[in-house]
Structures are given as structure tokens and as C-alpha cells.
Amino acid sequence: MRKNKKSSLSSIVWRIVLGLTGLSVVIAAIVHGNNVALLDSRGFVAHEQRKLLFIIVALLMVIGIPALFLAYYTAWKYRESNDNVKRSSRVKNKKILVSVIWLIPSMFALLLAMIMWPATHRLDHKSTIDSGTKPITIQVISMRWKWVFIYPEQHIATVNFVQIPEHTPINFMLTADEAPMSSFWIPNLGGQLYSMTGHSNQLNLVGDTVGDYVGSSAEINGEGFADMKFTARVSPKSAFDFWVNQVRLSGQTLDETQYQELLKPSEKTPATFYGSVNSTLYDRVLMKYGASMGGHEHMAGMGENE
């Protein structure tokens, strides 16, 4: 009888191990060779977020796998058809058992808090990224269904394309114009943050690896949501300076007439470049919805690092 019990328990353990191994192999096969942006960090913020994700998942598995096993094992052992087990409502050392049941998850909760609290503040979307390089400010206006990028220091603007120099902190200032709330997200570089009318949200990111990355809206915001994408290009500083000069020579100007055309809803808008732009355009968009010029409202904690 004891042999049968041991073989049954051993069979259950092996099935669980084989199931977890098979799941791991399937996930590895799907991920291998593909750009799974959340796991393919190409910037400081994204790298820190990925590291935090792995730590938290590992800790949750340490407590989660044994808990699931014990839940299944208890249900199996004390099943109605098992007449060989003694059932009693009286438990020996009840106080010790209750203490252990509460102590273990409490310790894990405390450990998670000790990890998450400093990480949350360190990765706050408004926190300045330590770097010896001067940050660049890029103003972002989300529309239906496109993204407008304004470089106030370089006096240029683009649509559905943003280029940044590597190892340079970028201060994205986000708002929206005549559009539902959108979510600005470049997953290879960091977490997402909402853009909404009448507010200016601040998101600090940095790209450490040269390449082109897909940016999009992580928030469903209407008919053109699926194609509301843009290219985020990280390039060497020299290539960035050359690109800025080329855009300046494009001859196009983002004036009031052009801007009103951009405001019209459109899908799959191609990348467009403007060699000059009104320096007050971003503030005028904010004022349009009652926000004060220069006194941008920052919606702290609205969706960053999700």
C-alpha cells in the first residue's frame, strides 16, 4: 500500500516537472530569434525594467509553484474516494501551523516591497537619467491616428518618425490634440505613458543601442489604433546631427495650415519631415484646452512602467 502511495506521488511530481519543462521549451522556441520588445531592452530604463520583471517573476514562482503543488496534492490526498487517509478536524500544533501559513507569504510580501519601493522611485518617468550628456527635449502631440514630434532646440518637426542620439537622455513631453487619450510607448526603450488633451506628461528615456525600434499607442483609442505606429531610430551623435541638418534643408514648414491638415483623422500616415516649426506650437496646443503656457501639468504616475 505504501509503495502505491509513493509511486502515485512520484508520478504526480514527474508530471508537474515535465509540464513546466515543456512549457519552458515552448516559450523558448517562440521567443528565440524574435524581437520580443519587452525582453529585448535597448536602453537603460528598459534594461532596469526587464531586470526587475525577472526578479519579481522568479520570487513569485518560488512561492507560487510550491503553493500550487500543495493545493493539488491536498485535494488529491483527501479526495472522497481515498479511504486510507485519516480525516480529523483537530490539528496538532495549530498555532504553529497558522503562524507558518501567515509568516511565509508575509516575508515574501516584505521582500517584494523592499525591491519594488526603491525601484519605483528610481524608474519614475520624471526622474532625470544620470548621464554626462546634455538631455534633448522632444515635444510629442498625439492625434487621430498619428504622432507629431517637435524638436524645440533643433527647430524641426516630424510625423511618425523620431530620431535620437545614442546614450543621450531624452525628455519626451507628451500631450494630445483633438484625439482620445493615447499611450506613448517604445517598448525596447522603456515603459509607456499617457498623452491627453490639456496635460503635458514627462517621460525620460535613453537609447543605448543603435537601431530602429517600433513605437506605438498602447491604449486603444479608436478606429486607427492598430496602425498608430512610428519608427524610433537610435543613431550615433554624428548621424543625428547630419539628419537634423538634412531635415532643415527639406524646405517644408509646419505652419498653421499644415498643422490643421495633420489634425484631420488619418491612418497609416507616412513619415513626414519639416525643416522649420513654430516654437510656440506645443504651448498653444496646451492653451487650447485651458492649460497655462509654460506651466505644464504633469500627470505623475499615469501608466508609466506598465
Per-residue confidence at 305, pLDDT binned at 50, 70, 90?
very low
pTM: 0.80
pLDDT digits (tens, 9 = 90+) for 145-179: 999 999 999 999 999 999 999 999 999 999 999 99
Contact between residue 152 and residue 282 where contact means Cβ atoms under 8 Å apart: yes
> For residue 6, what pLDDT is reported?
56
Query: Backbone dihedral region of 222: left (phi > 0), alpha (psi from -120 to 50 degrees) or beta?
Result: left
Nearest to 146 by CA among 178, 191, 189: 178
Query: Backbone dihedral region of 178: left (phi > 0), alpha (psi from -120 to 50 degrees) or beta?
Result: left
Per-residue confidence at 293, pLDDT binned at 50, 70, 90?
very low
**pLDDT higher than 90, residue 183:** yes
Cα–Cα distance measured from residue 126 to residue 179, given in angstroms and rounded to the nearest whole number: 24
